[in-house]
């Protein structure tokens, strides 16, 4: 089988040649980022927080256990493109029903393999996440691709939640999720709580963990107003993960501001940033972000270290937190803010993914904390 040439072009002028994978002949554009997880490529690619981004996996061999219908975090591939050292031509797992290559083809997502991902990651670590293009073909103009990459919109100032949020409220049907329950001994035995989850690009496993911990969940669009949320008379409000610049999600920031003190609030990732912005803190774009299933975080209240799953390119500036907001968790790789709690109202949030998927289960206790807060 003849291989199709591919080029990865970055806005800094770097062009890298490789082999086309995924939807041959398609083109992918977006912010080039890297993920350090060794497994979980299906969950990563279907995570709505990766909207507008091309993902480079640092682990060299991707696709070996294939793809199945269950291990998805949304209804489709959300990442704009894929960069790997080698896409496995073989699939070996009893749960797999197709290859990652066929999944990319069906989704119309272009990728590139046969490239030095270690070099790419070093470039991103030194120069920062960059706008990029993956193009397939034998007569590609590398210089033109670089110029087109430079013209792509920056992630700064972009509200991408309209691309991933639900169009209408719905109730999460979690009763069928028993097979996902990795800690049945920690499930709630008391009366169930009703939680309204604001969908900025929510992952399915977050909804599974909320249900497992004793919550019946109503999911509402990112544009839901405070009055619309309170009309459900929930026991608590959950703020989900999602893509883009948190400061650009202005409607949600105002909504959360109006909800403070009226219902207990728990936020994850983008939800953490939106809660922080609602109380007057600032956020900033990180150089290359945190993406992987192996990031150490310290709980400043207990002193314990958690190995966490993360995916974010923006962070909260702890120097801007108001007096009623306490930093509760810190990322040990770079000392960035990884969690806050408010002292005057029942609300807290973390900058990582306690639901994992992929990743370790060290932080699952946060769902129980939310239940206790309610």
Q: Is residue 180 predicted with pLDDT exceeding 80?
A: no
121: pLDDT confidence band, cut at 50, 70 and 90? very high
Catalytic residue among 31, 73, 306, 355: 355
What the chain holds in terms of domains, given with CATH numbers, is: 5-150 (3.50.30.20), 161-373 (3.40.50.880)
Q: Are 201 and 241 spatial neighbours (Cβ–Cβ below 8 Å)?
A: yes
Residue ranges with strand state E in 39-164:
53-57, 61-62, 81-83, 86-87, 110-113, 130-136
Burial of 12: CB neighbours in 10 Å, binned 0-12, 13-18, 19+:
middle
What pLDDT, on a 0 to 100 scale, did the predictor assign at position 173?
Answer: 86
191: pLDDT confidence band, cut at 50, 70 and 90? confident
Catalytic residue among 212, 295, 329, 353: 353
What pLDDT, on a 0 to 100 scale, did the predictor assign at position 184?
Answer: 58
Q: Are 264 and 370 spatial neighbours (Cβ–Cβ below 8 Å)?
A: yes
Who has greater pLDDT, 268 or 179? 268
Helix (H, G, I), strand (E, B) or coil at 193: strand
For the segment 214-229, the average pLDDT, to the nearest whole number, is: 97
Q: Is residue 341 predicted with pLDDT exceeding 90?
A: yes
Give the up-direction half-sphere exposure of residue 99: CA atoms within 13 A in the CB hemisphere.
13
- Name residues whose C-beta falls within 8 Å of residue 122's C-beta, 6 or more positions apart in sequence: none
User: b/e per residue, 309-328, with b = 16+ CB within 10 A?
Assistant: bbbbbbbbebebbeeebebb
Partners of 268 in the β-ladder: 350
For the segment 131-142, the average pLDDT, to the nearest whole number, is: 96
Residue-wise pLDDT tens digits, 243-275:
999 999 999 999 999 999 999 999 999 999 999
Any alpha helices (H) in 213-304, and if so which ranges?
226-230, 250-259, 270-278
Q: Are 81 and 134 spatial neighbours (Cβ–Cβ below 8 Å)?
A: yes
d(CA 173, CA 58): 35
337 is catalytic: no
Which tokens in the block code for residue 145? 């691709």
215 is catalytic: no
Partners of 132 in the β-ladder: 10, 30
For the segment 129-158, the average pLDDT, to the nearest whole number, is: 97
Q: Are 115 and 134 spatial neighbours (Cβ–Cβ below 8 Å)?
A: no
DSSP, residue by residue, 333-350: TT--EEEEEESSSSEEEE
Residue-wise pLDDT tens digits, 67-89:
999 999 999 999 999 999 999 99
Q: Which helix (H) or strand (E) holds 199?
A: strand 193-199
Q: Is residue 188 predicted with pLDDT exceeding 90?
A: no
355 is catalytic: yes
What pLDDT, on a 0 to 100 scale, did the predictor assign at position 224?
Answer: 98
For the segment 184-206, the average pLDDT, to the nearest whole number, is: 85
Catalytic residue among 269, 272, 290, 306: 269
For the segment 216-220, the average pLDDT, to the nearest whole number, is: 97
Residue-wise pLDDT tens digits, 289-312:
999 999 999 999 999 999 999 999
- Which pTM was predicted? 0.96
State the average pLDDT for the chain. Answer: 95
Residue-wise pLDDT tens digits, 54-66:
999 999 999 999 9
Residue-wise pLDDT tens digits, 82-120:
999 999 999 999 999 999 999 999 999 999 999 999 999
Q: Is residue 218 predicted with pLDDT exceeding 90?
A: yes
In the chain, the percentage of residues whose pLDDT exceeds 90 is: 94
Q: Is residue 187 predicted with pLDDT exceeding 60?
A: no
């Amino acid at each position: 089988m003849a291989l199709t040439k591919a080029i990865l072009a970055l806005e800094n002028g770097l062009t890298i040649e490789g082999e086309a994978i995924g939807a041959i002949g398609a083109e992918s554009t977006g912010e080039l980022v890297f993920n350090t997880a060794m497994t979980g490529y299906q969950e990563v690619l279907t995570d709505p927080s990766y909207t507008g981004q091309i993902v480079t996996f640092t682990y060299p061999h991707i696709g070996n256990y294939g793809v199945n219908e269950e291990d998805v975090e949304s209804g489709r591939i959300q990442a704009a493109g894929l960069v790997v050292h080698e896409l496995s031509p073989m699939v070996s797992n009893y749960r797999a029903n197709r290859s990652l290559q066929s999944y990319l083809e069906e989704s119309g997502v272009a990728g590139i393999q046969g490239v030095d991902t270690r070099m790419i990651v070093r470039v991103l670590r030194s120069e920062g996440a960059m706008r990029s293009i993956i193009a397939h073909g034998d007569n590609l103009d590398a210089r033109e691709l670089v110029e087109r990459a430079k013209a792509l919109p920056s992630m700064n100032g972009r509200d991408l939640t309209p691309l991933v949020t639900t169009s209408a409220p719905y109730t999460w049907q979690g009763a069928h999720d028993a097979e996902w329950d990795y800690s049945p001994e920690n499930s709630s035995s008391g009366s169930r709580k009703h939680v309204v989850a604001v969908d900025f690009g929510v992952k399915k496993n977050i909804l599974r963990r909320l249900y497992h911990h004793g919550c019946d969940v109503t999911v509402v669009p990112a544009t839901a107003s405070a009055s619309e949320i309170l009309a459900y008379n929930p026991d608590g409000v959950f703020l989900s993960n999602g893509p883009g610049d948190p400061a650009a999600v202005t409607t949600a920031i105002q909504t959360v501001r109006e909800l403070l003190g009226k219902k207990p609030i728990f936020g994850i990732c983008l939800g953490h940033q939106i809660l922080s912005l609602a109380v007057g803190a600032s956020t900033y774009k990180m150089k290359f972000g945190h993406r992987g299933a192996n990031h150490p975080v310290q709980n400043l209240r207990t002193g314990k270290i958690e190995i966490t799953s993360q995916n974010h390119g923006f962070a909260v500036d702890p120097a801007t937190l108001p007096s009623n907001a306490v930093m509760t968790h810190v990322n040990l790789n770079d000392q960035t803010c990884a969690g806050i709690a408010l002292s005057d109202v029942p609300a807290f949030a973390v900058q990582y993914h306690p639901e994992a998927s992929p990743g370790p289960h060290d932080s699952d206790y946060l769902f129980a904390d939310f239940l206790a807060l309610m």
